[in-house]
Structure formats: C-alpha cells, structure tokens
Amino acid sequence: MAIDMKWFDEMEGRIPRGGVRTRFAPSPTGYMHVGNLRTALYTYLIARHAGGRFILRIEDTDQGRLVEDAVDVIYATMRRCGLTWDEGPDVGGPVGSYIQTERRDFYKKYAELLVEKGLAYYCFCDKAESAEDSGNFERAEDPCRALSKEEAEANVAAGRSYVIRQRIPEGTTTFHDAVYGDITVDNAELDDQILLKSDGLPTYNFANVVDDHLMGITHVVRGAEYLSSAPKYNLLYEAFGWEIPTYVHCSSVMINDPETGAVRKMSKRHGDPSYEDLVAQGYLSHAVVNYVALLGWAPHGDIAEQEFFTMDELIAAFDIAGISKSPSAFDMEKLNYFNANYLRGLSPEEFAREAEPWIRRTVKNEAYDAAAIAALLQARCERLSDIPEKVDFFDALPEYGADLYTNKKSKTNSEVSLEMLKQTAPVLSGLDDWSQDSIHGALVGLAEKLGVKNATLMWPLRIAAAGKAVTPGGAVEICRILGKDETLRRMELGMEKLNG
C-alpha cells in the first residue's frame, strides 16, 4: 500500500509551534458534568496563565451517544462560565476543522501509516468494538496480529470488514504526569486497542492523540480515570515520532451518596447535579466556577488562604503544582456558602435582574415591584431557588392560625395583637404618602404614643400582612410593596381572625 508522505509533511507544516496550547474536547452527549466543567476550567486557566491559546474541539465520533442540541449547550455553558476559546468550530482557526467527524479522513490515513510501519494491524475478527478504553489493562490475544501483510491486504481488497488495532510492543512503557509523576506499566498488561472502527471513525483514544498533535496541543488535562490509557497514548506518540505533550491528570470528584451515605465518585448516572442542574437550583455561574476551581487545586504563597477569586485572579494564581493527587469532596453546603457570598456581592441592580425570574414564579401580580421585593431578599437567601417560597405571600395571603400572633420576644398575644391592629388601621388609612419613610414614621410615632415597643406594634402587622412568622423584610417594607388598600384589607382579615 503506497503511503503519500508528502501529505503527512504538509500536515506537520500546519501545526502551530511555540507557546502553550490547550484544548477542551467535550463529547456532545448531554449536559456539562461538574468533573467536565473542572477539566474545562483547568485547561482554560493553564492556557491563560501562560498567555497561550485555548481551543475548543467537539469530539463527536461516538455517534450512538450524541444528543441533539448538545453542542449549543456546550457553547452556552462555557460562555456563561467565562471560558472563552481562541479556536473552535464556531470561530475557526489555523488547524480546523474542530469537529472530529469532519476530520475522519485524517484518522484513516494515520492508522494506515501505523500499519505500514508495523505498529498497527488489520483485525477481521467478529467481535464487539469498544470505542472506549476498558481501563483494566487486560490484553486479549488476536489471531489477526500474526497475519502477513499480504494476507491482511488481500482481505481488505476482498471487502472484508475490519478494524485497525494498535500493536503493543514487548517491554514496559513509562510516562510522566505533571500531578502523579512517573508511572511505569508492563506492556503485557495492555490490550491491542482499536484505533479505527469498522465504520471508518476513530476511537476516542486514537482521535485524541492525532488531533492533539495536529493542533499543537502542549498540555492535556483529563480525569485520573484516563491514567490507564496514558501508556497507549505514549506508545502512539512514539510510534509516530511525535513529541509527547504534558499530561495533567486530575483526581476524582467525590460525593456522599444522599441515599446510602457512602462516599463515591460524582456521576450524573447517580443523579448528581450537572452545571445546568446547579444553575436551575439557583446557583450563580461565578459561584459554581469559583467553587469548582478549588475542587482539587489550592493556591499557594500569600494567597494560600484565599477562597474567593475573580476569573482574572484565578488566571494569575493558577499553577499546575497546586493540583492535588487526592480526591476532592463536592459539598453542597460549601457551595451554598460560596453562592451566598456571591449573591451578597452583587449590586442591587444585578441582584434584582438575577432574582426577578425567581420572584415571578410565585408573585404573578405585576403591580408588585420585583426590584423592591428583591431588595428584601439579597441578604436573606443562599440560592436563588430559595426565593419563590419566601415571597409567595404577596400574591395570595396563606392560610394561617391565630397562634402566629403570639410572640414572647415581641410581647404579643392574641389580645395585644388585636389591639395593635385596631390602633394601627386608622393611622395607616390616613396616610396620603405611602412611602417607606412615611409608613415607618407613622408606626414608630404610634408605638411611642401607645407606650409600647416597636416590635409589639410591628409583629401583628407583619403577621396580618404576610401570614407567615418568617418573612424577608419587616412589616414596613412588606406593607409598602403590598400597597395601602391590600395592606388594610389583610389587616381587616387579621382582626376578624383574632376576634374569632
């Protein structure tokens, strides 16, 4: 079989040289899992910290697992997380295409080159193909390994279905990882993995090596579960005579199983939240990104104790030496802590924009100012999803018992509360200016006139207005938002309840 080496030389000539180049290469098979997001983030930070290039590549060779619109989800997720790419399917670049199925002819040529070198072989056995590495280092004997070149080419010419397998040599393979150091594996434990499937598409492992080389990738970031595949990657790079990139394997993200309590690897298959799930649960993208950055990486030096980082600060601080070998624990309470801090840090206008869709889930009445309601909430929620239940009383006064009017701290009971509402109703009814200052001044003045503490007057008013013992904001803020007529109507209902 004649090999056109000029084509390979031309491909080599296209490769960008000099400077750090990293890539994130997701499969469009669903939403962005937390582990995938961390891989994308670390890959991005390595490139940006070094002033290099960050590339997005879509690995869609596993056609059976593709999910419609998943590529758009990938784009949207990365943009929301602030992970902008320099080259990719939608922006182009010097080494496109950046979609693997559009590069399928490349892989066949490189697989055939390895066959010509005697470092791969045609396999005609009728056995199930596996696009992914099993990771268990078991090696299966294959009779096709012993076929002569002439026999193999005759089978191909006769139209027999085949795959191309990597021919693992004798001996050992040592590879270096920036996190785990040098690892040596006995080649007898490696199987002759499939490089090219019978449909002409490459397996994940083969496509990764070819594309990473042709795109000039200098650092490859992936999960520690791929450590078992690294020897085969090394052998492929060596077979082609290519420079091996820096491997950066990241330890697993663990979680306590909510049902069993057992510690296990975080997985969407077990119902653990993806990035999209977390956003749907009311977490801000910046909070998620900040928290995920610290799942397996820690800053050093003067900022060793720092927890909160802007993206620019992460870029400046991030170094591979800070990545831990130990598994990290995903803790929802810790994420709540981060999210609450980010919510507090928003400007009132920013928080109102984030909160409004959540407010409108239960406050449908447009007469109630969402921005005014948001102002009550900013210091009182850890997640945006806390909001609907906190403010549902605006649209409809809930059913509540008269026992809510009794509060030891405010020195109220049913009799005291009824008297306070009777005294308060005409004062509020007489207000022409229904502003917060006006309402507050009238109520404080009334409390002083009656010789009671402010809380003794405010507690029954808030219960009548909201029908809840715990509310965002106090009586004054709630009454102002409800408006004069609705406040007085609810007070009348409260007095009827207390009159029993």
Catalytic residue among 109, 265, 268, 453: 268
Tell me the C-alpha distance between 195 and 207, whole Å. Answer: 8
Torsion-angle region of residue 5: left (phi > 0), alpha (psi -120 to 50) or beta?
Answer: alpha
Question: What residue type is assigned to position 459 of the chain?
Answer: W
The reported pLDDT for the residue numbered 129 is 56
Label residue 71 exposed, middle or buried (CB < 10 Å: 0-12, 13-18, 19+). Answer: middle
Tell me the C-alpha distance between 320 and 307, whole Å. Answer: 18
Q: What do you get for the CA distance between the two ends of the chain, in Å? A: 98
The reported pLDDT for the residue numbered 347 is 98
**Distance (Å) of CA 390 to CA 95, 375, 396, 471:** 52, 13, 12, 6
The reported pLDDT for the residue numbered 420 is 98
Kindly report the backbone phi and psi dihedral angles of residue 202, in degrees, each rounded to the nearest multiple of 5, phi listed first.
Answer: -80, 160
Tell me the C-alpha distance between 475 and 466, whole Å. Answer: 9
**Distance (Å) of CA 119 to CA 123, 147, 237:** 13, 13, 11
The reported pLDDT for the residue numbered 458 is 98
Q: Are strands 253-256 and 328-329 parallel, antiparallel or unpaired?
A: parallel
Label residue 83 exposed, middle or buried (CB < 10 Å: 0-12, 13-18, 19+). Answer: buried
Tokens encoding 57 = 């590549």
Q: Helix crossing, 370-377 with 475-482: angle to 10°?
A: 170
The answer to whether 58 and 71 have CB atoms below 8 angstroms apart is yes
Judge whether 232 counts as a catalytic residue.
no
Tell me the C-alpha distance between 287 and 293, whole Å. Answer: 10
The reported pLDDT for the residue numbered 134 is 42
Kindly report the backbone phi and psi dihedral angles of residue 173, in degrees, each rounded to the nearest multiple of 5, phi listed first.
Answer: -125, 130
For the chain (500 residues), the mean pLDDT of every run of 10, in chain order, is: 86 96 92 93 98 96 78 94 97 96 93 96 77 42 86 94 96 97 95 93 93 98 94 97 98 85 81 91 98 97 96 98 95 96 98 98 97 97 97 97 97 98 98 97 98 98 98 97 98 95
